[in-house]
Amino acid sequence: MPTAASPDAPFSLPRLLDAVTEAVPNRTALIAGPRRLSFVALRDRALRLAAHLLEAGVRPGEHVAVLAFNRAEWLESFLGALYAGTVPVNVNYRYVEGELRHVLAGSHAVALVAEESLAVRVDTVRPDLPHLRHVLLLQDGSGSGGPAGTGYEEALAAASADPSALPPTSGDDHYLLYTGGTTGHPKGVLWRQADIFHAALELRPSGQPRARTAAEVADRAARSSPLRLLVLGPLMHAAGQWNALCMLLSGRTTVLSTDRSFHPGRVVGLAHREGVHAVQLVGDAMARPLALHLLAKPLLCPGLRSVRSGGTPLTPAARALWRAWREDIALADSYGGSETGACGSATGPDNTDHPEDHRTFTMGASIAVLDESLRPLPPGSPDIGRIARTGRIPLGYYNDPEATGRTFPVDPDGRRWALSGDYGTLGADGSVVLLGRGSVVINTAGEKVYPEEVEAVLKGHPSVADAIVVPAPDEHLGQRVTALVAPVPGTALCAAELREHCRGRLAGFKVPRTVHMVDRVRRTAVGKQDYRWASSVARRAAEDDGPLIRTALRAPAL
């Protein structure tokens, strides 16, 4: 274990939560379905979980997996694992047996906290998990019974909440975040706790420096307004988890939607009932239906003051819907990733014909756009480069030195970087224009097209509900820019109209040559576009023009 002499020792997440709890013990920390926990109550249950893990033979430094939908016990388990000196491992609840095997075996998880219905899948791969030796089961009303294991509530009831028996923790202790990314197997991003706090979890007043002590974090919490944030992202993903932890470590209230699917009416009802002040969501797929529901019932949610999107920026059309509901609503997009932490944000103008304005982010001082030699580009450079962070960045990928070398390279001056996977340009004022991920960039006749730039333009059309852009094979161009578009229900939309819309806003080679109309654009569990699905549809349609989708319209080449 790290020594207490480390300057980052005070910034372990348990020690920070202890300091905040002492400052605001009776303030509501968490609302999740019928569960309402004060800071003291949440810490009490986390301490009991920690004591149980240690009594079950789990040792400090070992890994404890959490497999559950959004619920209070997810955060209890995560925090309890940290209090025990162990390392929590987030597991995607949509994973099938092969993916579960990869994460649970690859992370060397020795214990698992899982909902009964989800644990059934783990049982099928249990023979391939030699490290897993203890299972805690969360009741979920499924009646599935699940595999053999200890009941979660029974375990907590029998354990002590006395913190004196727990091992000391340090900001040098590990924090592990598994991310699926857009391609390949899930990878575990390994951080130090002090680094992830400063890079992603610390809320501080504008213009104030980072906290230097845990007492300073507690003092800010004591003086903070009682803000309530509705977290719509799943806790097993960075955005949902980090937003929830930001609230807890600033002495504010996290409200969780415990529904297992997204229902706009239920979300609005929850926000109204709990008096939330802010909502964290993922792009237009959530923002549009919520705004439409509020427009139909404009007197709901009187205290809602801000909406923040992560994963993908809000389009002008979505922003216009929110402004129509409440003109002074604060709308913002956040930018970051599992490998880089929270990097920056954008408010952006509401009405413009220039989609790049909505992808322009104000970034922190540790963020740069790098050229091919890992040298930071100068402000105002016309070159496209890789967005990266230096300073407080991850240690690397857990148990994967090759991937670590690719994503966390060292520049010629010996400075270590975390590459976000995104490409962009650097404005004269230091702002970054986000173009998109290099992993899905389209190379058409030698020209590079970043799908997210084209998607932003498509979604700016008033009759487009959602869109995704991918490459399709092309005999002459190599790859063809292909769009899958979901029209707003009840509207008439054709490829020619969309191409004309794009032509005045994009260079000609970026305008989609093929447009497929689909009933809906598939998205992942966290609300991001499913590029694997879209690429599969585009490839198969290009090969045989089969009836894979409702309508396929081929436009002539420019």
Q: How far is CA 269 from CA 308, 388, 521, in A?
A: 19, 39, 26
Which of the two residues, 516 and 6, has the higher pLDDT score? 516
Residues in a beta bridge with 363: 344
- Token readout for 377 is 């580009």
Instruction: Report DSSP letters for 486-555, one per residue.
Output: EEPTT----HHHHHHHHHTTS-GGGS-SEEEE-S---B-TTS-B-HHHHHHHHHHHHHH--SSSSEEEEP
Residues in a beta bridge with 31: 36, 255
pLDDT at 349: 60
Per-residue pLDDT reduced to its tens digit, 132-187: 999 999 999 887 666 678 999 999 999 999 999 999 999 999 999 998 644 457 89
Cα 137 to Cα 118: distance, rounded to the nearest angstrom: 10
Residue 97 has pLDDT above 90, yes or no: no
pLDDT class of 188 with cuts at 50, 70, 90 = very high
Q: Report which DSSP code applies to 458.
A: H
Exposed (0-12), middle (13-18) or buried (19+): which is 191, by Cβ within 10 Å?
Answer: buried
Cα 521 to Cα 332: distance, rounded to the nearest angstrom: 23
**3-class secondary-structure state, position 141:** coil
Residue 476 has pLDDT above 80, yes or no: no
Cα 265 to Cα 261: distance, rounded to the nearest angstrom: 12
**Tell me: domain 442-554, CATH 3.30.450.270, correct?**
no
What's the rounded mean pLDDT across residues 35-64?
A: 98
Cα 455 to Cα 466: distance, rounded to the nearest angstrom: 8
Residue 552 has pLDDT above 50, yes or no: no
pLDDT at 146: 61
Residues in a beta bridge with 425: 433
Amino acid at 397: Y
Judge if 228-386+405-437 and 442-554 fold alike in CATH terms.
no
Cα 382 to Cα 368: distance, rounded to the nearest angstrom: 14
Greatest C-alpha distance within the chain: 73
Cα 295 to Cα 114: distance, rounded to the nearest angstrom: 39
Q: Which stretch of DSSP H or E encloses residue 384?
A: none
Instruction: Report DSSP letters for 277-332, one per residue.
Output: SEEEE-HHHHHHHHHHHHHHSTTS-TT--EEEEESSPPPHHHHHHHHHH-TT-EEE
* Full 3-state SS string of 385-410: EEEEEECCCCCEECCCHHHHHHHCCE
Supply the CATH classification number for the domain 228-386+405-437.
3.40.50.12780
Q: Give the phi and the psi of residue 525 in degrees, each rounded to 5.
A: -60, -25
Q: Where are the beta strands (DSSP E) in 379-520?
A: 385-390, 396-397, 417-426, 432-437, 442-444, 447-449, 464-474, 478-487, 514-517
What pTM did the predictor assign?
Answer: 0.85
Cα 189 to Cα 91: distance, rounded to the nearest angstrom: 13
Per-residue pLDDT reduced to its tens digit, 334-389: 999 999 999 999 876 654 445 445 578 999 899 999 999 999 999 999 999 999 99
pLDDT class of 2 with cuts at 50, 70, 90 = very low
Q: Where are the domains of the chain?
A: 9-209, 228-386+405-437, 442-554
**3-class secondary-structure state, position 240:** helix
Report CA torsion sign: 48, 73, 79, 304.
negative
Q: Do 501 and 316 contact (CB within 8 A), yes or no? A: no
Q: Of the candidates 362, 494, 489, 510, which has an alpha carbon nearest to the alpha carbon of residue 443? A: 510
Q: What is the mean pLDDT of the chain?
A: 89
Cα 169 to Cα 203: distance, rounded to the nearest angstrom: 22
Supply the CATH classification number for the domain 9-209.
3.40.50.980
First to last CA, the chain: 63
Q: Of the candidates 191, 176, 188, 184, which has an alpha carbon nearest to the alpha carbon of residue 103? A: 188
Residue 282 has pLDDT above 90, yes or no: no
Residue 323 has pLDDT above 60, yes or no: yes
Place of tokens 């391609």: 183
Of 128-142, 180-194, 298-312, minimum mean pLDDT range: 180-194
Residue 506 has pLDDT above 90, yes or no: no
Q: Which stretch of DSSP H or E encloses residue 121?
A: helix 116-125
pLDDT at 275: 98
Per-residue pLDDT reduced to its tens digit, 225-235: 889 999 999 99
Residue 98 has pLDDT above 90, yes or no: no
Give the CA angle between residues 232, 356, 487 to the nearest 5°.
60
- Highest-pLDDT range among 43-52, 133-142, 200-209, 308-317: 43-52
Give the CA angle between residues 18, 23, 27 to the nearest 5°.
100
pLDDT at 3: 46
